[in-house]
Amino acid sequence: MKNKEMDEIISGLKSENKYISPIYFYDEAGSKLFSEITELNEYYLTETEIGIIKDNCSIFNDYTGSYTNIFEIGAGDGKKAELFLKCINNVKSYSIVDISKKFIDDSIKRLKTKFPNIEINGINTDFFDFPYTLKSIDEKKVILFLGSTIGNFDKNDAFDFLSNYCKNMKNNDIMIVGIDIKKDPDIILRAYNDSKGITARFNLNILNNISKILNVNIPENRFEHRIKYDENTGLLEMFLKSNEDFSIDINGDIIEFKKGELIHTENSFKYGIDEFKNMMEKAGFKNIKAITDDNKYFSIFIGEKL
Q: What is the CATH number of the domain that holds 98?
A: 3.40.50.150
Q: Evaluate whether residue 214 is within a structural domain.
A: no
Question: What is the rounded average pLDDT for all residues in the chain?
Answer: 94
How big is the CA angle at 34 (ends 32 and 130), to the nearest 5 degrees?
100
Domain count, the chain: 1
For residues 275 and 270, give the distance between their C-alpha atoms in angstroms, rounded to a whole number. 10
Averaged pLDDT for residues 105-120: 91
Q: What is the pLDDT of residue 125?
A: 87
State the chain's maximal CA–CA distance in angstroms.
60
Q: Evaluate whether residue 78 is within a structural domain.
A: yes
Give φ, ψ of 302 to 5 degrees: -115, 125
Averaged pLDDT for residues 252-277: 97
Half-sphere exposure of 219 (CA within 13 A, CB side): 7
Q: Evaluate whether residue 10 is within a structural domain.
A: no
Contacting residues for 291 by C-beta, under 8 A, at least 6 apart: 52, 56, 59, 60, 299, 300, 301, 302
Neighbours of 195 (CB within 10 A): 9
pLDDT at 1 over 60: no
pLDDT band at 159 (very low <50, low <70, confident <90, very high): very high
pLDDT at 2 over 60: yes
Q: Evaluate whether residue 231 is within a structural domain.
A: no
**Higher per-residue pLDDT: 3 or 201:** 201
Q: Which of 150, 154, 155 is nearest to 177 (CA)?
A: 150
Give the burial string for 143-160 (b: 16+ CB within 10 Å, else e). Answer: bbbbbbbbbbbebeebbe
| Intra-chain end-to-end CA distance of the chain, in Å | 39
Range with top average pLDDT, 19-33, 112-126, 219-233? 219-233
Averaged pLDDT for residues 197-205: 98
Averaged pLDDT for residues 94-121: 89
pLDDT band at 145 (very low <50, low <70, confident <90, very high): very high
pLDDT band at 76 (very low <50, low <70, confident <90, very high): low
**What is the tens place of the pLDDT at every residue in 43-63?**
999 999 999 999 999 999 999
Q: Evaluate whether residue 138 is within a structural domain.
A: yes
Averaged pLDDT for residues 201-218: 96
Give the sign of the dihedral formed by CA 129, CA 130, CA 133, CA 135: negative
Q: Evaluate whether residue 56 is within a structural domain.
A: yes
Q: What is the pLDDT of residue 27?
A: 87
Q: Evaluate whether residue 22 is within a structural domain.
A: no
Percent of the chain predicted with pLDDT > 70? 99
For residues 109 and 126, give the distance between their C-alpha atoms in angstroms, rounded to a whole number. 21
Q: How far is CA 226 from CA 8, 200, 236, 246, in A?
A: 23, 8, 11, 19
Q: Evaluate whether residue 128 is within a structural domain.
A: yes
What pTM was computed for the model?
0.92
For residues 227 and 241, give the distance between their C-alpha atoms in angstroms, rounded to a whole number. 10
pLDDT band at 77 (very low <50, low <70, confident <90, very high): low
Q: What is the pLDDT of residue 98?
A: 86
Query: In terms of residue numbers, what domain contains 119?
Result: 44-184+270-305
Neighbours of 65 (CB within 10 A): 14
